[in-house]
Each structure stands twice: as structure tokens, then as C-alpha cells.
Amino acid sequence: MQPLVRVLVLLALLGASCAAPAVPDGDEEQPVLSPRNWTHVLPPEAAFGSGREPTVVLEGGRLNRTVLNARFNGTEALRRLRKLARRLNMPPLVDKALRLLNLQQVVQEVETSVMSKVSCTACRAGVSFIQHYIRTGKTKEDIIQVTKHFCIKLKMSTPRVCDGITELFGGEVTYVLQRLSLGPEEICGFVIGDACGDVYNPFHEWKVSFPPVPKPPVTPTPAPPKVGSPTFKVLHLSDTHFDPYYHEGSNADCNEPLCCRLTNGPPATPAAAAGRWGDYRKCDTPKRTVDSMLEHIKTTHPDIDYILWTGDLPPHDVWNQTRDENLSIIKQTVEQLSTTFPNVPIFPALGNHESVPVNSYPPPFVKKDYSIEWLYEEMDAQWRRWLPPSTSPTVRRGAFYSVLVRPGFRIVSMNMNNCNNRNWWLLLNSTDPGHELQWLIYELQAAEINNEKVHIIGHIPPGHSDCLKVWSRNYYNIINRYESTVMAQFFGHTHYDEFELFYDNSDMSRATSVAYIGPSVTPYYDLNPGYRLYYVDADHALTTRAVLDHENWVMSLKDANLYDYPIWYKLYSAKSAYKMNSLAPQEWATLLDQFTSDQDAFDLYYKHYWKNSPVRPNCDAECRKRLVCDLRCGRSHDRRSLCQEIESRIDSQTGGTWRSWLYNGLTVSYASVVASFSWIGSTISNGISTAWG
């Protein structure tokens, strides 16, 4: 499509208020990837009937660890809070609520993003506290101080973590809540999602607009290309979380969000000491491990055509970060990749950890002190070594872009922080932040008109519980409309090896698209470091630009630390391991169905999900239902409609759901307690002011 036509289509779709992307000089957008003869040897096909994968030489044993033990004394913390409630002469209802509030479970759920009504209850109580202070005229500094005091008194973390978290987050959370008319129920329904119930919130209901162009007829899935057809070999790196302060031999079993630093003190026992190449506990990636991985990739895979890099570069010390520190890590990592792969195009996406504080991505209308321009301008400067100038306007505005890779093949990079429900700024206005989804429609419509195929990359998977329900629903509808154009999606964020499926809105038995979720480089936590390679249909007359196969490579962290020698090896290739005919969406849907009835097939997936970690936990029936449901959910916070059938199938295989029955019964029993938390929040807040000063 001519550049002028692309601009006119954009203005028609978005309106003049949304900046159009710059176009290069000349008549046509120039592809980033230079022409060459792309021919790679794909992984071998499955030996059907053998029932096993190629043998993996290194297979570590299970480690004795204490990391899953409580990081604080939850019973003692709640005892303190209940004692305070009694001092304030609160009714028995308050004591009953506090008995049900398991702080240890709340901390674990926040860290893993697997939420329950316990976290919802804690959220409502916390929001009630802060809103009460705002209503009574307390300053931002007052709110930060009492929150810090509360965190320390309840031993929710160490004093320095409580201090850092409240100082970093207190200002913006207060700023947002001061400008809201929503109550705790609506706010926590927004932040946590379906674990808080289906709370109707008219302030956060919206739809994107589609152009008046009919959806093209859906054609049958084409046959795989002939053997020897050109292919792209694509490296996917995600969630590096490089920690410049990782220190071998330091305490790996601390009670903070990130360990393995000198500031965590000496280990209590030799077993608690941080390993040389990383650790299975809450520790990020040491530099030597990043160096080892990149050198291994450079040597083992010298024929990589381009790289997908889906974000999260800084470590998990979220209480102790500054803008300068995060920018330094971003610059170091960009420079290292550029040096290691000097002639390889790299297509990056922004993670949720790049900002300070973490998850803080204000929309464009937020200016001055809280503006995110400091990060987006630096990302534009760093990414420009790989991207054409035409991407700069949208990167500087919202950290998203579109680039032509080859004639007829485009990559679109999304800023998934616009769907991040931990991004409190979206409470002010969640309606298509930065007009990103409307811009995406423009790009996909232009691609459809121009007979281009598109791959979408981003960080947070759109079906993950960290993605806003309304944003995810709109994105799902976009993928449904442009299923003939979007040939694959690539995300990170979860640290696990998994995928998400999208289905036809009018026929939920027909899968339309696959979102591949790449494994993390960081071992945080209980994981082996890993990366992924894709083989993509390349330049030929009948190319589909589909993913033909993928390989997952890992390093056994246990063996690397034991022998002081890291060995990276191929764990599996998808077609061979899962005996798939192709990686078409419907093939993945068939595999998902197999996981509901075939325990061996699911166990193999579970091993890969954890990147063959020797410390992976057992997975019972509830765990299996959750993980299989995750695969079906390309749309977030809609498990009730998407997963009932597959959960029933698993229940029929495992013989019952006593745990679910018991949990649901307990949930109903304290529903009235949860509903009273607005009043409780005000009462306890008054009491804290009086009792603690």
C-alpha cells in the first residue's frame, strides 16, 4: 500500500487526534530483513509409535529446599491485628474477618498472579484504609507513613522492603485514588479480576471500532510447505531479569522478593548459599549465566535470521529501584545483544519491569512528574539501532510499533502494559490507552488490503490474569476479525513454557490463532534458564508465514552449579514431542483436548512447562485444571465460559472435586464478611491513627 493511503486509512480509523506513523522517503516501506536464501534444517519428525522423546543426558535430582516455607509468621501477624481490633472494641465480625485473612497466602498469590477471594478480601481492606485516610484529609506523606508502619508491624516483609515499596508506590497510588469515585469493590474487581467476582463497572466498559470492511472468508488450513522450502530461524528471548548484584555464596533463602545479594546477609547453612550460575530460589540471572547463554547461542545457532525480544530486563528488586538504575540495565543489555548479534535484526517489546515503580505505565494524558516519557524516549533511542525511523513516533508515544520484515510479512510490537491490571493508572481511564488497539486495527486492516501476513509480539499474554478483562476482550475480537492476517503471536511474562489459544467467537470448537509464550532466561523461581527457537515459513510463492515448529533449549542449573560447567541442551521440539502434524491452531486445540484425558500427555507438557526443573512441585487435579484452562484462555478473566467443559472432563478422569466443593463452601460462608470491609477499613484506620500515632 502506498504510504499516503496508509495515512488516510489511519486518519479514517483513528481520527486526527491520534498521531499517524511517519513514513520513509520514497514510494514503499522498505523491509528490515535483507534478502537471502533462508533454508534451515527443521527438527526431526516424531517417531510415531515410539512413545518417547530423544534422551536427555542431564537430568538433575530434586533439591532439598526451604524456600516454600513462610517468609513471615502469618499467625503472629494476624494475632497482632486482631489484638488491635479488640483494643478498639470492634465487634466479633471484625475478628472473624481477620481470622479469614491469610496474609501469607495473599503474598504468595500476588507473586504468582494466581488469585483467590483471599487476595480480593485483602485488596478491599487495603483500599478501604487508604480511601478513609483520603476522605479524612490525610496527606500523601501521612498515608505512606501509616502504610509503612502497618507493613512492618504485620511483618509482611522486612523493614527495608516495606520502606521501599511504600515510598515508591505510595505517591502514585494516592494520586490515583484521590481522583476516583469508585469504591473498594469496583477497584479490586478491576485490579484482581474474576477472583473478586464479576463486578460490573460502567466506567471501564468500552469497545474498539472496526472499519466497514467484511471479514474475508475463512479458508482451509494450507498443507505444510514442501521439505526444503525456505524458512526463517527465529530466536525468542524473554524475561532476562539480569541482576548486576547477584553474588555467589550469598543468602539465597531470604524473606524478601529477591535474594542472592550481599545485602541479604550470609546464608544460615551451606545449603542456603547462592549457586555460582544461579539459584532455584528467588534469585535472578547472574551476568556469567547471561554471557554463557549468548555465547552458546552464537556458537550453536550461527544461522539465526532475526530475534524476538519480549521484555523484562531489570531484576525483581522492585522495592529498591531507580530510573537511572533501570535505564543502565536496559542500556547494558541492549549493547550486549548488539555486540553478540551484530548483523541480526532484533524486534523488541516492552516488559512490565522496565518502569519505576514496576507496572507503572501512565497513559499519555498523565504529564509532569508522573509522565512515562522518560522511559519511552530512551526505548526509542535504544531500539532505533534495529528499527527504521518510521517507528519512532509510536514508540515515543506509546512504546508500540509496526515494521515490514520482508515483502508481505510484518511484525507488530504491542505495549501490553496498557492491559496490565497492576498498572493503577488505568483506573483513571482504561479506554484503549494511547489508542493502541485502534492503531492495531489500522495496521491489520492495511496489512489485509496489502496481502501482508502479520506476527504480533508483546510481553504480558492477552489471556493472562494480569491483563484487563475489557482490554483482553477487545483484543480477542481483533484477532477473531483478522485471523487470516495474524499468523502467530509471541509473548513472555509468565517465565513458563506455555501457549494460549484463540477461538472463533461464533464457533468455540474452531481454534483461530495461537499465542506462543516463551520461557524465561531467569530461573526465578524454581526454573531452569531457557530460550526458544522458531522455524517460520519464509519467502516462496506459497508461503503462509506460519510457525512450522519450535525448539526449547534449557540449562540444568543444578548440574551447572554442581560441576561448575553450564551445558545448554535441546529439551524438546514441539512437533516431535507432542506428535503433531503441524503447529496450526486446530492442532494445538486437539493437543489441549488430549491433556484433559491423557495423563501421560499432560505430564510431558508439565515437565516442559517447568523447563525440566528438578524442583517442580507435584500437580494434582486442581493444578491440572488450572493449567489446561490457561491454555484455552486467550481471553482473560472468562474462565467460567471458556473452561467449564474441559474442567468437567478432567473431573471425570480424576473422580471428584472435593477440594473445589470445600473451597466454594467456605467462600460462600464469608461472603457477608467480605461485603463489610469498607466499614472495617474505616474503623481500623481510625484505630491505627490513635494507637500507633
Cβ neighbour number for residue 362 with a 10 Å cutoff: 22
**Among 123-127, 509-513, 662-666, whose mean pLDDT is lowest?**
662-666
Q: pLDDT at residue 100 above 90? A: no
| Phi-psi map region of 89: left, alpha, beta (phi>0 left; psi -120 to 50 alpha) | left
The answer to whether the beta carbons of residues 161 and 257 sit under 8 Å apart is: yes
The answer to whether the beta carbons of residues 416 and 467 sit under 8 Å apart is: yes
Dihedrals phi, psi of 406, to nearest 5 degrees: -140, 160
Confidence of residue 62 (pLDDT cuts 50, 70, 90): very low
Sheet holding 547-555, edge to edge: 346-348, 306-309, 231-237, 530-537, 547-555, 568-573
Q: pLDDT at residue 4 above 50? A: no
pLDDT at position 629: 94
Average pLDDT over residues 449-468: 96
How far apart are the C-alpha atoms of 429 and 690, rounded to whole Å? 36
- Which three cell numbers mark 666? 467456605
The answer to whether the beta carbons of residues 310 and 458 sit under 8 Å apart is: yes
Question: Of residues 443 and 36, which shows the higher confidence score?
Answer: 443
149-180 pLDDT, tens per residue? 888 887 888 999 999 999 999 989 999 999 98
Q: Based on the number of CB atoms within 10 Å of its own CB, is 220 exposed (0-12), middle (13-18) or buried (19 or more)?
A: exposed
Q: Is 28 helix (H, G, I), strand (E, B) or coil?
A: coil
Question: Of residues 433 and 118, which shows the higher confidence score?
Answer: 433
| Phi-psi map region of 564: left, alpha, beta (phi>0 left; psi -120 to 50 alpha) | left
Confidence of residue 7 (pLDDT cuts 50, 70, 90): very low
Q: pLDDT at residue 583 above 60? A: yes
Question: Of residues 3 and 176, which shows the higher confidence score?
Answer: 176
Q: What is the mean pLDDT of the chain?
A: 84
How far apart are the C-alpha atoms of 330 and 667, rounded to whole Å? 44
Residue count of the chain: 693
Confidence of residue 590 (pLDDT cuts 50, 70, 90): very high
pLDDT at position 57: 36
pLDDT at position 507: 93
Q: pLDDT at residue 380 above 90? A: yes
User: Hunting for cell 520502606 — which residue is that?
Assistant: 163
Dihedral sign for Cα atoms in the order 26, 28, 34, 35: negative
- Cα 427 to Cα 44, 177, 353, 395, 435: the distances in Å are 49, 9, 19, 23, 16
The counts of H helices and E strands in the chain are 23, 12
pLDDT at position 608: 98
Residues flagged as binding site for Zn(2+): 239, 241, 312, 352, 459, 493, 495
Cβ neighbour number for residue 565 with a 10 Å cutoff: 10
Contacts of 134 (CB under 8 A, 6+ apart): 143, 174, 177, 178
Average pLDDT over residues 220-236: 92
- The per-residue DSSP string of 357-391 comes to STT----TT--GGG-SHHHHHHHHHHHTTTS-GGG
Return the percentage of the chain with pLDDT > 70, whole number: 80
CA angle 319, 321, 323 (to 5 degrees): 145
Q: pLDDT at residue 569 above 80? A: yes
Return the percentage of the chain with pLDDT > 90, whole number: 63
Q: Based on the number of CB atoms within 10 Å of its own CB, is 391 exposed (0-12), middle (13-18) or buried (19 or more)?
A: buried
Q: Where are the alpha helices (DSSP H) in 265-410?
A: 287-300, 323-340, 373-383, 392-398
pLDDT at position 272: 97
The answer to whether the beta carbons of residues 304 and 337 sit under 8 Å apart is: no
- Which three cell numbers mark 424? 493503577
CA distance between the termini of the chain: 66
Q: Which residues pair with 486 in a beta bridge?
A: 454
Residues flagged as binding site: 239, 241, 312, 352, 459, 493, 495
How far apart are the C-alpha atoms of 20 and 118, rounded to whole Å? 45
pLDDT at position 690: 42
42-52 pLDDT, tens per residue? 887 755 444 44
Average pLDDT over residues 69-76: 43
Question: Of residues 26 and 48, which shows the higher confidence score?
Answer: 26
Q: Based on the number of CB atoms within 10 Å of its own CB, is 659 exposed (0-12), middle (13-18) or buried (19 or more)?
A: exposed
The answer to whether the beta carbons of residues 350 and 382 sit under 8 Å apart is: no
- Cα 46 to Cα 62, 96, 546, 602, 607: the distances in Å are 29, 57, 19, 17, 18
Confidence of residue 114 (pLDDT cuts 50, 70, 90): low
- Which three cell numbers mark 692? 500507633
pLDDT at position 672: 39
What DSSP character marks residue 90? -
Q: pLDDT at residue 232 above 60? A: yes
pLDDT at position 191: 83
**Among 93-97, 115-119, 428-432, whose mean pLDDT is lowest?**
93-97
Q: pLDDT at residue 103 above 60? A: no
Number of alpha carbons in the 13 Å side-chain half-sphere of residue 276: 9
Q: Which residues pair with 346 in a beta bridge?
A: 307
Q: Which amino acid appears at position 485 of this protein?
A: T
